[in-house]
Structure 1
């Protein structure tokens, strides 16, 4: 514990900022892992059940089931059902508009995570600059004869550089992963929704 406190003090004012950034990044990663599960976005078999009930003329039951499901796919399917009797282009346009809103929810916080990945190395570099400045200030005060006088500045430079990279690298990896995850889920959603659009428009499902 004492070593951690000493390490924290050697990191200068930049290290607490990087620690805060790391905490925020961890919170976003945990949240996105929970939200971007396939079962929470594109429940398996939902569109097939909805299509069967629509073909059986059970629209009230379909609406009730979609309200209870409360997933992005269910909300988009509900919008499609509200356009029953409209031309295919009208149904598709309404569905695409609903899809854009749901896409925004899936993308939530990802831009901030990407910003952390981009800013953390710069904060580390800033800490490095201040550490070197402190080292040169120590040289100016006591000369080169006392290595201990330089240790504080050098430690600050190294600690903040390492901390910036430690925060940035995982943040960037998770940012890329979640971006890819969102794209996969969006494609799966579009595929399922299109089946119902074709059915409602009188085409093949």
Structure 2
């Protein structure tokens, strides 16, 4: 492995740095975008129970907001519980945009690595081929086996660029799809909570004897 890195020459340095960065971003996003962290189990049912019973003090809502992205979205609904449904929906959309931006953090960098990896690999190959042909101009063709070995070494950078880019591209697409799935599920939970809040607001006030 070390011999292949040496064969690629100095263009292998940025490729190795990109591979380390891509690995770090994949691990970080994978840990951050766990379902248990984004959408804790039973949280939506619990919040709807609170709303139905009227247990909605400001401290309770602030605590909900800090639990997870889903908690933040449901807290936004509860903040607007005394407003119209249209106002609640607008608030959910605003908060949802911020949550998407937060969950997509570093994904642009990961996509850039996926696009730049093959280009850097091709650049390293071109540099290696130029060096090889300059050697031919100075010393002649010489041994054909040595010439073939030089071409093979030059192609190491191309292979490395693909090895870096393919996992980064797969992870980028997977995280994008995961976030889109979360957004749909969180929107469903927010609509269900709005229904509960609206039903409670429409209940007749208890008669006082």
- TM-score, shorter chain, exceeding 0.5: yes
Distance 1:64 1:118, change over 3 A: closer
Task: Name segments (4+ residues, structure 1) moved above 6 Å.
Answer: none
Larger Rg: 2
Of 76, 81, 84, the residue aligned with 1:79 is: 76
Contact 1:127 1:160 in 2 (8 A): yes
Report the secondary structure of 1:98's partner residue.
helix
Matched length: 200
- Normalised by the length of structure 1, the TM-score is 0.90
Of 46, 52, 56, the residue aligned with 2:43 is: 46
Per-residue CA deviations over 1:50-81 (Å, capped at 9, x if unaligned) read: 111111111127425514x5200101111111
How far is the alpha carbon of 1:152 from its aligned partner?
7.2
Of 186, 190, 193, the residue aligned with 2:187 is: 190
- Normalised by the length of structure 2, the TM-score is 0.88
Contact 1:120 1:164 in 2 (8 A): yes
Provide the residue aligned with 1:141 in structure 2: 138
1:24-173 mapped onto 2 (5 Å cutoff): 24-60=21-57, 62-63=60-61, 65-67=63-65, 70-147=67-144, 150=147, 153-173=150-170
User: Mind listing any 5+ residue stretches in structure 2 that lack a counterpart?
Assistant: 201-209
Report the secondary structure of 2:199's partner residue.
coil
Aligned counterparts of 2:180 and 2:84: Cα–Cα separation in 1:
28
Q: What is the aligned-residue RMSD (CA, Å)?
A: 2.1
Per-residue CA deviations over 1:79-129 (Å, capped at 9, x if unaligned) read: 111112101010110111001101111111111111111110011111111
